[in-house]
Structure 1
Amino acid sequence: MNIYSKSLPALVCLVFLMLVTGNSLAATTGAEKPSLAVLIDIAGKQRMLSQKIAKAYFFHGQGIRRDKTRKQLFDSIKEFDRNYEVIRNSVDNQGVQDMLVYIGMAKDELAALAKQPYSKENAALVLDYSETMLEGSQDIVSRLEEMSKLKKEAIVNLAGRQRMLTQRIAKYYIAYQAGFRDHNTVEQLKKAVKEFEEAHAALRKARQNTPEINKELANVERLWKVVAKFYKDVERGGLPVIVLATTDDIMATMNRITHQYVNILGS
């Protein structure tokens, strides 16, 4: 047997490997970027996570459902980081990229604070960083919406923002109970409650609604009636476990509704 016949099997294997690797690389580099509706959903979810992280920090610091809220805190930080990378790698817009740098500094500071023992001083910083992350994430959502010629993705923004408002309401509710009883805390809470109720009324009338979406929105309404009175009477306080559980249920329902709107736009 000559040298060529001996080397033929190895050569065949090498060619096969190159073809497989090449196809794999082509699939990776040729992968389609998320649609605009999906990106608006992801960026909108960042708004929610910015508030959810701070909310979980406060609930955990106050000793309320410590195992659950600790997991929620660190899971939310990880999810925010993952979404951050998706947006960074998917959106070719200088304004968005500049805003991501701004958000990145705030998220890293907040993540570092989450690992430290709870204190009122740290909690005040968490509130500040969560507001920075929210403001930056909202700016990105607005920029993405501007890229849409038909503006049909606005319904995704509206529904997705409800997720954020549930966590923002719970954040300011528990912050008040934790001793942040200034005028701004009460006003921000009341403003978020008002915005949630107005947006919910608009969603109930949306022409894109399917029977399933209407059913889910009715469920949100039922849950909202349970906790709205606590938000609107924050000075009285009490029942933080009910507030935590019900607010998270509303958020999860709004998340499903938002994804249904995304699917409608993609069909």
Structure 2
Amino acid sequence: MIGRGDSSAFSFGKAALAAMTIESTASSPTFAQEALLIQESAQLGEATLIPAKLDIVDVGAVERIDYASRLSLLSQQIAANACYLAAGIDADLAKELLIKELAEFDQYIAALRNGDPSLGIIGAEERSKTLKHIDEVEAVWKPFKAAAEAIIAGQDIEKNVALISSTNMTLLERTAILVTDMNAEYANPAELTQANAMVIEIASRQTMLIQRISKDLCGIETGNPTLGTKEDLKKTVELFEVSLTALLNGMPEAGVMVPPTPEILASLQAVSAEWTPIRERLLSVEAMEVIPDEERVKLFEDLDHVGQTMQAVVDKYRTFAKQHL
């Protein structure tokens, strides 16, 4: 289990976290920053700067960044479950999850474009740069979704698995660019601080990495190196480890704050407690020619559970961010 103050994971460390974290600015013409009124002071006979009191409208900054991050998660989750379904591995569960995930991706991308009060996203996106990034995600998403739906229907399995295998990382990259753009647009003192935006992005990315691990395992199991290899698995495990350590301990030089509440710290420690034995099992996969059926099913279930535990951390960060503007 990774503890606070444990720096062992930083041997791979800071460079890896930096590589997966794109810096963003906190400026945006969409939101008013704190204005200053110049008021003449008769007593002092000079101009005095007084903060103007502005009405701040909550348009769901925290939710926009969170749901954009969930698109990244879904890009890997859908690829993993399409692989499992096509290979007949836990096929009933994979099919059920795949149908749900396709609907979620459609809902979230539409919400980021048009708004969705049920998700806490108020009002349509107006910024042309962000709309362009949404367009770029959808351009990859539409054929990707069609391939997944064909696999569900049992049509042209080999062709559609190949399409998903070759485009899932492009979809992940496009969604990551959208997340970074959302961070730059909506992380501002009026609605969301940059420090909170950073940890929400990294914590959300952890849920994506869990799904990428599952996808890597399916690529290994089915002999599909485009989907995942043992080297891919090792790198993904290392990235998850480094980021979890950063969230637990903080990494000020990368803009990652320490856990801001005892509840968030306890939740991260719960993730670490679940993750540590899973990590050892994942690393042992490198030495296996074939993953035993029982171990594969158990890994699938345990990864799903730690992903849920990590999502609970994201939710706690979201709540904290909304309460501490």
Render the CA deviation track for 1:80-104: whole Å, top value 9, x for unaligned. 0000011112432222211222221
Task: Report the 3-state secondary structure (helix = DSSP H, G, I; strand = E; otherwise coil) of the residue aligned with 1:64.
Answer: coil
* 1:135-194 Cα shifts (integer Å, max 9, x gaps): 111001111112224412111001000000000111011111111247973333222111
The CA deviation at 1:264 is 0.4
Gaps of 5+ in 1: 1-31
The equivalences for 1:1-267 within 5 A come to 34-89=59-114, 90-116=124-150, 117=154, 119-147=157-185, 148-149=187-188, 150-152=193-195, 153-181=197-225, 185-206=229-250, 207-235=258-286, 236=288, 237-238=291-292, 239-267=295-323
Instruction: Output the TM-score relative to the length of structure 1.
Output: 0.81
- The change in CA–CA distance for 1:91 and 1:185 in structure 2 (over 3 A counts) is farther
Instruction: Check the 8 A contact 1:57/1:69 in 2, yes or no.
Output: yes
Q: Secondary structure at the match of 1:115?
A: helix
Q: Could you tell me the percent identity over the aligned residues?
A: 25
- In 2, the alpha carbon distance for the partners of 1:126 and 1:175 equals 12
Q: Against the structure 1 CA distance between its residues 68 and 173, is the aligned structure 2 distance closer, same or farther, given a 3 Å change threshold?
A: same
- Give the Cα separation in 2 of the matches to 1:182 and 1:86: 31
Residue aligning to 1:19? none
Aligned equivalent of 1:22: none
Q: Say whether the 8 Å CA contact 2:78–2:101 is kept in structure 1.
A: yes
Instruction: Give TM-score scaled by structure 2 length.
Output: 0.68
Going from structure 1 to structure 2, the CA distance change for 1:184 and 1:168 (only over 3 Å counts) comes to closer
Match of 2:16 in 1: none
Question: Is contact 1:159–1:258 with CA below 8 Å preserved after alignment?
Answer: yes
Equivalent AA in structure 1 for residue 212 of structure 2: R
CA–CA distance in structure 2, aligned partners of residues 63 and 223 of structure 1 = 27
Counterpart residue identity of residue 77, structure 1: L
- Superposed displacement of residue 106, structure 1: 2.0
Q: In 2 relative to 1, CA 33–188 (structure 1 residues): closer, same or farther, beyond 3 Å?
A: farther
Residue ranges of structure 2 left out of the alignment (5+ in a row): 1-56, 115-123, 251-257
Aligned amino acid, residue 223 of structure 2? G
Instruction: Note if contact 2:217-2:228 (Cα within 8 Å) is conserved in structure 1.
Output: no
Equivalent residues of 2:220, 2:228 under 8 A apart: no
Which whole-Å CA distance do the structure 1 matches of 2:241 and 2:226 have between them?
24
**Stretch moving more, 131-140 or 230-239:** 230-239
Q: State the Cα deviation string for residues 185-234 of structure 1 (Å, max 9, x = none).
A: 33332221111000100111243442222222222122212322333233
For the 8 Å contact 2:74–2:105, the answer to whether it is kept is: yes
- Give 3-state SS (helix, strand or coil) of 2:229's partner: helix
From the CA coordinates, give the structure whose radius of gyration is larger: 1
C-alpha spacing 1:66/1:91, structure 2 compared with 1 (3 Å): same
SS at match of 2:88: coil
The alpha carbon displacement at 1:33 in A equals 6.1
Q: Cα RMSD between the aligned structures?
A: 2.0
Whichever structure has more helix as a proportion of its residues is: 1
- Contact 1:176 1:234 (8 Å CA) reproduced: no
CA distance in 1, matches of 2:220, 2:304: 18
Preserved contact between residue 174 and residue 240 of structure 1 (Cα < 8 Å):
no
Distance 1:34 1:185, change over 3 A: farther
> How many equivalent residue pairs?
236
TM-superposed deviation, 1:123: 1.7
